[in-house]
């Protein structure tokens, strides 16, 4: 990955990505992070469908999921629509949806806006494990085409320090419930990437700087929106 190109560093967004492209952007974010941190291992991997990331040459598949509450997803979608609304009536409707989800609209850096919620959820473990179980239930359909399967869990909100220290324990709890499991798991946040090898019962954690995360997310969004392709220099 060549993430420090002028094209990426000079790209700035004043509005969130369209809701319809959010899932693809998250998948490209995972792909960009994996290629950046582990270039030799994932340089053949591309975006696909069932699972979301695919390397047919090495028979490796990675499914992507976001560990987030339904209210968080609803607020994110409503905020995207709010920023693109063409009338006060539409904006008020979106604002009501945002506030009913426990969020509020706040100004950041001049005229830019963002959504914010107060406090952190006591149910981080439940939301996290629910997403893992949901993806494990679909493992059988992925194994038809891939020998090795992994799960990448994207944390859209900054986790509490307590949650950060227990992600691997939460994954192991779920894995003890069944036999057909992912071979490895990645947990990605805005500041770190945790890798867990389920076969060896081993994990490692790598830090990601704010600049690196910003550039990786920018590349992911540019790709989801069609401004970049996997053949461009940023992905090499």
> Per residue in 205-215, pLDDT tens?
999 999 999 99
Residue with more model confidence, 215 or 16: 215
Separation of alpha carbons 52 and 81, rounded Å: 25
Q: State pTM to two decimals.
A: 0.79
User: How many CB atoms sit inside 10 A of residue 150's CB?
Assistant: 22
Torsion of CA 177, 154, 193, 119, to 10 degrees: -100
Q: What pLDDT is stored for residue 11 in this prediction?
A: 95
Name the pLDDT band for 116 (thresholds 50, 70, 90).
low
Separation of alpha carbons 21 and 11, rounded Å: 18
User: How many CB atoms sit inside 10 A of residue 88's CB?
Assistant: 9
Residue 110 pLDDT > 80, yes or no?
no
How many residues in total does the chain contain?
236
Residue 171 backbone zone (phi > 0: left; psi -120 to 50: alpha; other: beta): alpha
> Per residue in 138-159, pLDDT tens?
898 888 889 999 999 998 877 7
Name the pLDDT band for 70 (thresholds 50, 70, 90).
low
Percent of the chain with pLDDT over 70: 92
Look over the chain and give the mean of its residue pLDDT values, rounded to a whole number: 88
């Amino acid at each position: 990955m060549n993430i420090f190109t002028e094209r990426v560093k000079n790209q700035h967004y004043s509005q969130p990505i369209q809701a319809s492209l959010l899932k693809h952007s998250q998948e490209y974010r995972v792909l960009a992070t994996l290629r950046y941190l582990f270039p030799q291992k994932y340089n053949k991997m591309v975006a696909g469908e069932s699972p979301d990331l695919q390397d047919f040459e090495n028979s490796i598949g990675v499914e992507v999921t976001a560990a987030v509450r339904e209210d968080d997803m609803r607020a994110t979608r409503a905020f995207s629509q709010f920023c693109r609304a063409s009338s006060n009536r539409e904006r008020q409707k979106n604002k009501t949806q945002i506030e009913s989800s426990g969020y509020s609209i706040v100004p950041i850096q001049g005229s830019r806006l963002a959504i914010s919620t107060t406090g952190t959820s006591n149910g981080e473990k439940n939301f996290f494990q629910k997403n893992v179980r949901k993806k494990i239930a679909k493992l059988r359909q992925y194994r038809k085409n891939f020998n090795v399967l992994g799960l990448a869990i994207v944390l859209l909100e900054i986790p509490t320090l307590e949650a950060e220290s227990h992600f691997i324990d939460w994954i192991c709890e779920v894995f003890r419930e069944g036999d057909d499991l992912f071979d490895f798991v990645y947990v990605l946040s805005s500041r770190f990437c945790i890798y867990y090898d389920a076969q060896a019962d081993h994990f490692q954690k790598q830090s990601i700087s704010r600049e690196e995360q910003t550039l990786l997310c920018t590349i992911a969004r540019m790709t989801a929106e069609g401004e970049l392709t996997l053949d461009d220099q940023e992905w090499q």
